[in-house]
Structure formats: C-alpha cells, structure tokens
Amino acid sequence: MKKRLIPFAVSTGLVCLVAIGCSNSNIDTAKIRAAFPSVGGDAKVQLEQGLAAIDASNYVAAVKPLEKAAYEIKMDKNQRIILEDALKKVRVKAARQQ
C-alpha cells in the first residue's frame, strides 16, 4: 500500500505545482518596462526588441534579445525576478510556437 501511495502523492503534488506555476501565462510588458525606467544604451535596445516581439506574439524572436538584456543590465532583486519570470514564460510560449 505504501509503495503505491508515495508515487501517487508525488505525482499529485507535481501536477498541482505545474497548474499553479502555469496558471498565469500572460506576459505584462508594461510591468517590465516600468521596472526598467533608467536602462540605456544597447541594453535598452535589446529589451525593447524583446518586448516588441512579445507584443507582436512573436515569442521565438523575443528570446534572444531578452536573454542578452538580462545579461547586460545590472538589476536589483525585484527587477531580476520580473525579467526571469518573463523569460520563462517567453521560452514556454516560444517552444509552443515552433
């Protein structure tokens, strides 16, 4: 009985985590832009290219500029969380687009 209960509990927990984690798959580009008001130079260009691609629902084209912007921009903890969350969502949507 225990041998069946443990895998069942683990699989149920994973399903719940996936459902919770994927429940909000919308990417709020306005929130991202508001989090980075003082970014300049090439990093701003990369960020804007990525966000413009998201606005156009071209998630495949948004991945590289956002990754490059994430590498170049010096961020605080909140900014990093916002950008990493957006990148995760973009990668998932890009995989579905291909």
Q: What percent of the chain has pLDDT over 90?
A: 58
Return all residues near 58 (Cβ < 8 A) that are at least 6 apart: 97
**Could you give the count of Cα atoms lying within 13 Å of 66 in the half-sphere of its Cβ?**
28
78-94: pLDDT as tens digits: 999 999 999 999 999 99
50-70: pLDDT as tens digits: 999 999 999 999 999 999 999
pLDDT surpassing 50 at residue 17: no
Q: Which two tokens stand for residue 35?
A: 């989090």
Q: What is the pLDDT of residue 14?
A: 53
Sequence letter at residue 21: G
Q: What is the pLDDT of residue 23?
A: 47
Instruction: Please provide the distance, in angstroms rounded to a whole number, between the alpha carbons at the two ends of the chain.
Output: 43
